Structure 1
């Protein structure tokens, strides 16, 4: 789920509602989205906006409550085996799809199998490594129907894990684990999720008005949602905004009640009573195409990793967040074996060090037989992404003599496609985690083509130890995870961590109960009320 947490790719007039539309009578909210929707197929999405739409309109076995704690939602009861590998969920019998169909155990089986099926090229299939045979299936080494999920009855679901894990509720809350109406999937085929009408919903809202390519849509309260009495908003009108200045103007005029802020507006509004900000576990990072000769050279990657002044990037370009010296976020995961933040236990993997970067660069030039090297940096075309790209371009060309960087900024959908298809040298993106464990950052984490391209035996051995042998042994598991991160980031520089993003936004004071996800910038609307 690689993302760009900034304002995005198109501008529209306000969604036909003026400032008085967000009244306590109408319970209507008008908001701005960060990017266009790529798809509403939970087996195929790979961006923040699509995730946000799915999380407000769909529901899995768990859902985050108003305190951002995972609670049973689509299920009413769960039991597990003594070895903590087999879970049996009793599904909610009053849960229905928006077309009136019951939400059944088979709907989970259908969805999960579609996501791991290699032919669907899911960007989130790696998340299924926790499920029995999940990794083998995504690698084409096992049949899709061997996945550790089984319908024991209409409302009884069995889930078998590859190994015991401590974070199952949090990961099963994610959109990649949502059910899909089996009848609708079969009926629509390749059209499933390609527009708001080519989908049915089992969450707090249904989506209206998305044609598959337009830049506005609405959430409408789902009359078939089992917990509809808890949902106060009747409608949320969403529009993609091209520039932050446009969004801010719409907010100030009363046409928007919520708008994310890009970095250049943080200083201007940070003392405003309607300004909100927090450091999130969302990573800004670079990842490299190791199939290409130049970026396949480890010394090139190490040089680039150490040649970027991350503190200056945060202070002068982003104005929010903090620099990152590891791919696993800080102040997010407390290790049970030490009681400390994982990042403190693991330490710095890669820091800004021009002397060390130039030493690596000289080795790279010698091995490649070139004094002058040209590379292309791929980014999305939103304002902040382009600014970060330009900063990286300037830093690298200044600190690594003989290097020429060109920046190619394209729509997020195209950027995701380019990275999946290996048509890039290196790419800048952001990653919002799905659950509170280092494995999310180390094995998913927006690390494009990790499983198919990165074959380091020590890394995968340490990951396997963390997933299996040490799954219930916290101290040994911590050491395996640190060793894996050290191999991936410090030794092999498969990716270069840059920063942890700050989520900054403006919100009307009359909007109560608004939350961002604990993992990043996804907005939750099901607890919101206009007062």
Structure 2
């Protein structure tokens, strides 16, 4: 199972467009009930913080669980499950006093041991968590994930029922942002062990400590609810009583449901941006979501570095963005632009790092010729796996057309399946090339370089120079922003320019219109995930 995939990450969502046109406002009775009706363009895969790797599951987790920190209404990290924190002089040890009134939705107290239990399970190689790499900054996290130390050696200790100590390998500037992520949430040990491998496979087989609980999700159905959590410690500041979610993959259907007031907003495919961009209340902005291609290096064709480089440089990204997506921008590195800035110079990382895998037809054909020579083939057929959302299928069709045209002798077969099945197929190595999207959890380049939705990165990419550079950035240069920046740039160059382990495609954009009655709807600073905690219907 891949260990280098986030939540986000290999996500099969492309640009999400939230449409709310100027339709009839809801009745006062609807407002008084505080019920929000929304659409998602992909199904949910899990409610287990150890196992998630898709955006729909991430959104569910971030609205129904809570860790030490959360984002406030201004998208700044603030203490949540913890009442206060003290930091050692060397900035490596954090001691938290947890909220004594924080409870799980079954009435159990949320204790320090719940964090210890969840974190140790997360880094245990037996769990095969797609998010284990997120614990590299925690003391011994990397060695535990590699099987060199026992999970109990992780830098987390319960100093009492409500006192928690966390020790880092080296100081990091993004600690509070990191702690807002779903991999760092606690789990109720009693409940998790009761259900074992079935924990989080349905809404009934989990308990929640966030502002909402999840209800009526069977594990396969396309409708579920977020219900206000009566046991949430800050429930008085949660206005919504319920969020009704339904999966709507067809944009036309979603639009009709919205127009007939059955949805308060609906996700649309990129086809509909032009149709609605002049509608009152329309907004569009770049976001650090990326779309990329990952290769199965256990198959001879996609294991060939020349083949991967030919694919990576063999299609025009600007045309894709301008003519297919209608939002976002082309991306020639794994780290997006306007995302991470050097704390000393203020420089944007992407601008400093420059382009690494740009569209270059001449170079792509040279690499293609070399690949065919090494593989001993004049004609090559590969399969491109995508989810079955409209956006993903459109991007797949574009890539198929351009790559077959630009690389003579290449045949690209498209396979588009539901997101949950696509994630399972990728985990099981049942693919040649897979297209997906990913969004980060904290504003630092390493979040993309050491993860970025790159499938099986920890398992299959064992380049020693890359690993050494990441280690230097995390330790030797942890407190030297300039040298750390340069080291991360070298690591990205090794990953992309030299080895083409992954192929960046585009940086996403988000377009939406919001009804006046919906106040306080928050969008994650790192992508398209919605936070319902501060929403009120007026």
Which residue is equivalent to 2:473? Answer: 466
Q: What does 1:237-276 align with in structure 2 at a 5 Å threshold?
A: 237-276=244-283
Q: Which of 403, 408, 413 is 2:410 aligned to?
A: 403
**8 A contact 1:43–1:176 mirrored in 2:** yes
Q: Is the 8 A contact 1:60 1:175 kept in 2?
A: yes
Q: Which residue of 2 aligns with 1:364?
A: 371
CA contact (8 A) 1:377 1:407 kept: yes
Q: Secondary structure at the match of 2:102?
A: coil
Aligned match of 2:321: 314
Deviation per CA, 1:119-152, whole angstroms, max 9, x where unpaired? 2221111111111121222222221111111101
Alignment partner, residue 11 of structure 1: none
1:393 aligns with 2:400: yes
Q: Is the 8 A contact 1:96 1:224 kept in 2?
A: yes
Q: How does 1:12-411 map to 2 (within 5 A)?
A: 19-20=26-27, 23-411=30-418
Task: Report the 3-state secondary structure (helix = DSSP H, G, I; strand = E; otherwise coil) of the residue aligned with 1:63.
Answer: strand
SS at 2:246 equivalent: strand
3-state SS in 1 of match to 2:424:
helix
Which stretch shifts more, 93-102 or 22-31?
22-31
1:412 to 406, 411, 419: 419
1:445 aligned residue: 452
Shift of 1:6: 4.8
| Alignment partners' CA distance in 1, 2:451 and 2:346 | 25
Confirm or deny that 1:502 pairs with 2:509: yes
| Residue 19 of structure 1, CA deviation | 5.0
* Contact residue 210 and residue 216 of structure 1 kept, 8 A: yes
TM-score for both structures, normalised by structure 2: 0.95
Shift of 1:183: 1.7
Q: Partner residue of 2:13?
A: 5
Aligned counterpart, 2:22: none
Aligned equivalents of 1:491, 1:377: Cα separation in 2: 23
Partner deviation per Cα, 1:478-512 (whole Å, 9 max, x = no partner):
00000000110111111111111112234322111
Aligned length: 522
Q: CA deviation at 1:514?
A: 0.8
Instruction: Quote the residue 1:12 is aligned against.
Output: none
Are the equivalent residues in 1 in contact too, given 2:15–2:510 (CA < 8 A)?
no
- Following superposition, the deviation at residue 210 of structure 1 comes to 0.7
Rounded to whole Å, the distance in 2 between the matches of 1:67 and 1:526 is 13
Structure 1, unmatched stretches of 5+, are 9-17
Structure 2 alignment gaps of length 5 or more? 1-6, 17-24
- Is the Cα contact below 8 Å between 1:33 and 1:241 reproduced in 2? yes
Match in the other structure for 1:492:
499
> Structure 1 residues 21 and 49 mapped into 2: Cα distance closer, same or farther (>3 Å)?
farther
After TM superposition, give the deviation of residue 309 of structure 1 in Å. 0.5
C-alpha separation between the residues in 1 aligned to 2:15 and 2:168? 38
Report the 3-state secondary structure (helix = DSSP H, G, I; strand = E; otherwise coil) of the residue aligned with 1:444. Answer: coil
SS of the residue aligned with 2:468? helix
Of residues 397, 407, 422, the one that matches 2:429 is: 422
Give 1:219 deviation, angstroms: 0.9
Instruction: For residue 22 of structure 1, report the CA deviation from its aligned partner.
Output: 7.4
Root mean square deviation, CA, Å:
1.5
Separation in structure 2 between the aligned mates of residue 451 and residue 35 of structure 1, nearest angstrom: 27
CA deviations 1:91-126 (Å, max 9, x no partner) are 111111111111100000111112112222211111
Greater Cα shift, 316-325 or 188-197:
188-197
